[in-house]
Amino acid sequence: MATESLHSNHNRIYGSNRFVYPVLSRRSNGVSLGVNLNPDKVCNFDCIYCQVDRTTRSETRFVEMDQLLAELRTTLDFITSGEFFGDGPFKDIPPELKRLNDIAFSGDGEPTTYKNFDEIISTCASLKQELELDDVKMVLITNASMFHRDHVKAGLQILDENQGEIWAKLEAGTEAYFQTIDRTSFKLQEIVDNIAAAARRRSVVIQSLFMNVNGVAPSNEELLAFCSRLSEIVTAGGAIDHVQIYTVARPPAESFVTALSNSEVDQIVTLVKEQTGITAVPYYGIS
């Protein structure tokens, strides 16, 4: 399987696993080991670009902690031993990508909605320590909607203590565009405030996916408003390590969503740098 296909295929099924799945991540520059805390496919956002098929019901409805940890331990051992790269779809990837970059909490919904979020972060961190994987990050891929809850704050603190990174989603500057893209009962200001509060305690990564909607890219006015939101977070005392500017790489939920061109992604990167002074990194669509 070509590297491009692996980048575009984030299948949640790996072997007999139900909760843990490896992917070749374009934003991790290596293998990211996903942990799915939402096997029921329930999410508090309904993003138009989401690749999760919510038209079918998952066979696994609840997180089974013992099973998840067993899968995580076995798959970590398989990857770190090198056997993982010896056969199967990952054997032909470039040598520089044959590395385990992170354990990523993401999956089929918003991971921070999991009621025992802090407990599962702590347990996975303990396993990482036991296996002496200090170079492996723990990455939370999140829409930041639950950052105000105490058990989520506790989980974020555990991440901080275990090579953790927070990748918080922000891809709109106006409420109207936010609702067009993310389709949620939350308000954009709530998300911005939550990110700012988290970023006052540690530096965060902003993940921003931009796309064509019915053939139309986000307007310059919308992108300037987005830059103003980034500046708002910094002005509020938040630290942003960098902004990931990327576009569609896998089949989206809605057929009217298509990828931006490489040059359009680059233009947004340049605008963010010019308007905010924050480092921005491009990730291109894969056709």
> In the prediction, which pLDDT does 287 show?
47
- Per DSSP, the three-state class of 40 is coil
Please enumerate in sequence order all residues whose Cβ is within 8 A of that of 223, keeping only pairs 6 or more positions apart, or say none: 173, 268, 271
> In the prediction, which pLDDT does 54 show?
65
Q: Give the whole-angstrom CA distance, residue 98 versus residue 114.
A: 31
Q: What is the CA radius of gyration of the chain?
A: 18
Q: Give the whole-angstrom CA distance, residue 109 versus residue 104.
A: 13
pLDDT tens track, the chain, 287 positions: 454 544 444 444 467 899 999 999 878 888 999 999 999 998 999 999 998 876 666 666 689 999 999 999 999 999 999 999 997 888 999 999 999 999 999 889 999 999 999 999 999 999 999 999 999 999 999 999 999 999 999 999 999 999 999 999 999 999 999 999 999 999 999 999 999 999 999 999 999 999 999 999 999 999 999 999 999 999 999 999 999 999 998 889 899 999 999 999 999 999 999 999 999 999 998 64
pLDDT in tens, 199-244: 999 999 999 999 999 999 999 999 999 999 999 999 999 999 999 9
Residue 178 C-alpha from the chain's centroid: 18
User: How crowded is residue 108: how many other Cβ atoms within 10 Å of its Cβ?
Assistant: 22
Q: Which segments of 161-261 does DSSP mark as H helices, in order?
A: 175-182, 188-199, 220-235
> In the prediction, which pLDDT does 177 show?
98
Of residues 263, 276, 272, 277, the one with CA closest to residue 217 = 263
What is the end-to-end Cα distance of the chain in Å, rounded?
15
- With 0.75 as the threshold, say if the pTM is over it: yes
Please enumerate in sequence order all residues whose Cβ is within 8 A of that of 128, keeping only pairs 6 or more positions apart, or say none: 103, 136, 138, 162
Are 240 and 230 in contact by the 8 Å Cβ rule? The answer is yes
Residue 137 C-alpha from the chain's centroid: 13
Q: Where are the domains of the chain?
A: 1-167, 170-287
The CATH architecture of the domain made up of 170-287 is: Alpha-Beta Barrel (3.20)
